[in-house]
Amino acid sequence: MSITLTDARIVTPDEVHEGWLTIENGRITHVGRGKAPGEGHSLSGGYVVPGFVDIHNHGGDGGSYPEGDLDGARRAAALHARHGTTTTIASLVTAAPDDLARAAAALADLCEEGVLAGIHYEGPYISPARRGAHDPALLRTPDRSEFASLIKAGRGHIRMITIAPELPGAPEVIRAAADAGVIAAIGHCDATYEQTLAGIDAGATVATHLYNTMPALHHRNPGPIAALLEDERVTVELINDGVHVHPAMVRLAYDVAGPDRTALVTDAMAATGIGDGSYELGSMAVTVEDGVARITGTGAIAGSTLTMDVAFRRAVRLAGVSLPEATRIASLTPARVLGLDDRIGSIAVGKDADLVVLDEDLTVTAVMRRGAWLGLD
């Protein structure tokens, strides 16, 4: 199949230009400027950006990845795809090792189908003091043997694990993750600046939702935030929903880390796309009111109801990020984190035709995944 998209404003990592592009067999074969050489499908001046890449997502449309339910996981992935996320990592939450292994084994089926791009263990090796929406009774001390079993359960599809670097055994597990080709992410931690640097030296390369569930910046005790922001080896996740992080702090992190070390994520949970009500995240009861998810009875934030198109739009409208740079933090940088930037993350010849069409208000009007249009709500 071949299709040419014309009358478009194409957003690359470096610029926005008026032009056209051709897709054949699910890949981009031509990207041109000005008027297309022939007839095509007119986008009437719409912006075309690369499909969004979400490396931290717990679910949506009533489906929750930690449950390992395939029907629910399919609904979640489809909901986020309709909002422009063409590549999704399914994030689990702290659970007993057998339950984590069971969920990972189930989700591995969807990875093999191409519905998901991998699996993320957010826990159980996190700090009790910074556990957030994780069940404290199920937290564990990092263990290399146990970690190897969890990796095996995912049949090659475990892409990331979040770990608190100050815990006993954490450096060894971080090194084991790096050796296994699994991204080690620092988060849900109570670490000092020095302990965080030690975790980075051991092989950690991502900050799980920077600022959230970690000690705040302090001028005498800089803690993990300063270490993660300043180290060029680390990509920082940001939940840009206006609830988790104030826009001023989004701008601060972005100004320090820049577009090549910042990745927008949703941290979305089952309520995304549905609305307020009662839900579960792993073993924890969650109440969603006015779009904000909190652990029932405690007030602790429990994921989000964010979609990547909203995070993208907020980055441009409220954080002052240019359109080209916004495509980098929503698509190219997270793709690079996953080692997939040769295939996805930007509009370029040879890459998968994962595309999002936006109107003047940066609202999604169409989504293409691997050359096929997806139905929208």
The secondary structure of 270-336 as a DSSP string is TTTTT-SEEEEETTEEEEEETTEEEETTT--B--B---HHHHHHHHHHTS---HHHHHIIIIIHHHH
Tokens of 324: 């080209």
* 219 assigned to a ligand binding site: no
From the candidates 54, 143, 190, 267, which is the catalytic residue? 267
* 39 assigned to a ligand binding site: no
DSSP letter for 164, please: -
Is 267 marked active-site?
yes
* Cα–Cα nearest to 81, from 54, 41, 113: 54
Contact call for residues 308 and 333 (beta carbons, < 8 A): no
Token pair 């429990």 in the structure block, residue:
302
* Cα–Cα nearest to 331, from 69, 71, 31, 85: 85
Contacts of 328 (CB under 8 A, 6+ apart): 13, 259, 260
**3-class secondary structure, 243:** coil
What is the rounded CA–CA span in Å between residue 338 and residue 191? 25
Percent of the chain as helix, strand, coil, to the nearest 5: 30, 30, 40
* Cα–Cα nearest to 51, from 361, 360, 377, 341: 341
Q: Residue 99: left (phi > 0), alpha (psi -120 to 50), or beta?
A: alpha
Token pair 């920082």 in the structure block, residue:
236
* Cα–Cα nearest to 213, from 144, 139, 274, 290: 139
* 112 assigned to a ligand binding site: no
What is the rounded CA–CA span in Å between residue 212 and residue 188? 8
Annotated binding site for Zn(2+): 122, 188, 209
Active site residues: 267
Annotated binding site: 122, 188, 209
